[in-house]
Amino acid sequence: MQDIASRQMNLDPNEMANRLMQRAHNRDGLPEMAIGSAFLIVAFVIFLQSRQAAGSLAYKSLALGWSVLVPALGAGLPAAIKWLRRRHLIHRFGYLETTAVRKRSLLVGLLLAAGIAALIGVARFSIPDQWVLAGAGLFAGTLCAFCGKLIRFAVYGVLIAAAGLFIAQIRLSLLSGFPLLFGFCGGLLLLSGILVFVRYMRSPAERIQ
Amino acid sequence: MSSNIPGPAEIDRVIHEPARLMIVALLAVAKEADFQYLTHATELTKGNLSVHLSKLEKAGYIEIEKTYRGKYPLTICRLTERGRDALSVYRKTIRRIL
């Protein structure tokens, strides 16, 4: 199919390759399922934290728990997806070994996300909760829309940003708003991932579009 | 045509073809990839991809290794140093034109 090739021709070869790899990466729905599950787990832990008395041991433990859980999931999920694809889906997905440069850029992305999360943590003391929630929704939506490289991610990005703005509008505290926002993101991505995965597995292995 | 702008003869025809450019660009950022992965990533048909891979291999830009992972046969493609250099030169040439 030459159409895709022609569409990519006005890009730098590096940019073109990254786009193609990102599209291939999101083709089977596994990354969506993984990210969706991670969002739901974090939402659940924050929800549990919101039910504890502020300052209690359980409250502090849960706060520590999700701050450890986020980088752990960020580092562990790509490895789990790679293992699953190599072990069970190699006949469909194929085999890819990325360069150290690509692995490094993934690490930089994780560190950047952790930095932004820390910034939000600091900002919450000087910025009203609804601004933090709206900002988090807009940030997550923008990230989803730009990183997915597929039309469905642009749609999800808009939905996530709208959810962030809506949750900010109803003036919830951060501990009530974040589980809602993350729960929405997680549910949306998990559901989408499952649908894409089922469709992927039902398509003939010879030619998956 | 100004002397600063490269002529058509300076453009590497092997890489300039859109499908082959996609393959070479992909292999430049990946350490190695198999035929199946390249089929999905480029959305080329198997026959078409096979032809382009043969041309790239003939030009010495990629190397192809046939191996197995368990019972699953893999046709692994890697960009050679020559291919990497050719892509780099191609990128510079195209930048000069654009």
Mean pLDDT of chain A: 82
Residues whose CB is less than 8 angstroms from the CB of residue B6 and which lie 6 or more positions away in sequence, other chains included:
B93, B96, B97
Name which of A97, A105, A196, A208 to mutate to probe chain B: the one with the most chain B Cβ atoms within 10 A of its Cβ. Answer: A97
Note whether residue B80 is domain-resident: yes
Note whether residue A37 is domain-resident: yes
Note whether residue B59 is domain-resident: yes
Q: Distance from B86 to chain A by nearest Cα, in Å?
A: 12
Note whether residue A164 is domain-resident: no
Note whether residue A159 is domain-resident: no
B78: CATH: 1.10.10.10
Average pLDDT over residues B67-94: 88
Q: What is the mean pLDDT of each run of 10 residues along chain A (209 residues)?
A: 56 79 85 92 89 87 83 84 87 80 66 70 73 88 84 93 92 87 94 93 63
Tell me which residue range forms the domain holding B23: 12-97
The yes-or-no verdict on residue B2 having pLDDT over 60 is: no
Note whether residue B6 is domain-resident: no
The yes-or-no verdict on residue B3 having pLDDT over 60 is: no
Note whether residue A33 is domain-resident: yes
Q: Which of residues 21-80 of B touch A (CB under 8 A)?
A: 21-22, 24-26, 28-46, 48, 69, 72, 74, 76
Nearest CA in chain B to A86: B69
Tally of domains within chain B = 1
Tally of domains within chain A = 1
Task: Report percent pLDDT > 90 for chain A.
Answer: 24
Nearest CB to A20; choose among B41, B45, B87? B41
What's the order of all strands across the beta sheet hosting B30-34?
A96-98, B30-34, B72-79, B62-69
Compute the distance between CA of residue B59 and CA of residue B62 in angstroms, rounded to an integer: 8
Note whether residue B1 is domain-resident: no
Note whether residue A195 is domain-resident: yes
Which burial class, exposed, middle or buried, applies to B30 when counting CB atoms under 10 A from its CB (0-12, 13-18, 19+)? buried
Tell me which residue range forms the domain holding A193: 26-126+175-202
Residues whose CB is less than 8 angstroms from the CB of residue A106 and which lie 6 or more positions away in sequence, other chains included:
A78
pTM greater than 0.90 (yes/no): no
